[in-house]
Amino acid sequence: MLLSLDSSAVTASVALTDGDRVIKSEFVNSGLTHSETLLPMVKRVMGDNEFSSLDAVAITAGPGSFTGVRIGVATVKGIAFAGNIPCYGVSTLEAIAYNFVDENCVVCAVMDARRMQFYNAIFKVENGIVSRFTPDRAISIDDLREELKQYDSVIIAGDGAALCSQNIALDNCKIAADDKIYQNALSVAKCVKNKKTIAPSALMPVYLRQSQAERELKLKR
């Protein structure tokens, strides 16, 4: 069985799967901090299943909210270290793209990085296969607008989708449907199928850039 978690943005989700079978999953967008919600969700989703029965634990390791990513990675490392369970660390942006494996489309995954920048990657989804046009990156809205002009049709998804779409204002771009707009633990589970596990000690957050606190501290030096 695979336990998958996401706490990289405003939402949080947990899923327990066995191959393609979903045993149980939870998704919340309650506004509570992930430190309050994530472990209780894990306990409810696991139910009577023991952690020792897990084959692996997966987490969106970033990019995303600095606090949310840290909480998610720390939670998974704690579960994995205790049971010597292998881990998967996946890109939050790639997990968003896996919401669209039932479509043939171009997905622009965006997360709000503040100051009119976005964490972003662009993906092609065709016949259930997700491939990349770009790596994960932090990009300005102006640069992203110019890049998206080359595609016939683009679906914008992620917690930055509304802000991105509003400021890009391109006719070839549309916002994802509500049930596909956010990354979630079930898309994380799909994302790991062709990936290799890593040891808990090797699982690290992926930030793409320094936090605001780190940037302000650097300016003071």
Q: What is the pLDDT of residues 194-207, one digit of tens each?
A: 899 999 999 999 99
pLDDT of residue 107 exceeding 50, the answer is yes
Task: Give a yes or no: residue 87 inside a domain.
Answer: yes
Q: Do residue 100 and residue 170 come from a single domain?
A: yes
Q: Is residue 217 scored above 50 in pLDDT?
A: no
Residue 124 near residue 131, CB atoms below 8 Å: yes
How many folded domains does the chain comprise? Answer: 2
The confidence score (pLDDT) of residue 32 equals: 63
Residues 31 and 8 in one domain: yes
How many other CB atoms sit within 10 Å of the CB of residue 217? 11
pLDDT tier, 43 (very low <50, low <70, confident <90, very high otherwise):
very high
pTM of the model: 0.92
- Assess if residue 202 is contained within a domain: yes
In a domain, 219, yes or no: no
Contact by Cβ (8 Å): 133, 122: yes
Q: What is the span of the domain harbouring residue 61? A: 2-92+183-211
**Same structural domain, 195 and 161:** no
Question: Same domain, yes or no, for 188 and 81?
Answer: yes
User: Taking the CA of residue 192 as centre, how many other CA atoms within 13 Å lie in the half-sphere pointing to its CB?
Assistant: 29
Q: Tell whether 67 is covered by a domain.
A: yes
55 and 160 fall within a common domain: no
Do both 98 and 171 map to the same domain? yes
In this structure, the dihedral spanned by the alpha carbons of residues 198, 202, 205 and 207, taken in order and rounded to 10 degrees, is -100
Note the pLDDT of residue 99: 97
| Residue 221 resides in a domain | no
Q: Is residue 217 part of a domain?
A: no
Considering the domain boundaries, does residue 218 fall inside one? no
Give 207: exposed, middle or buried? Use CB within 10 Å, 0-12, 13-18, 19+: middle
SS3 assignment, position 99: helix
Residues 100 and 88 in one domain: no
Domain co-membership, 110 together with 62: no
Joined together, the tokens standing for residue 25 give 């999953």
Q: Is the same domain home to 21 and 47?
A: yes
Task: Indicate the pLDDT class of residue 33, thresholds 50, 70 and 90.
Answer: confident
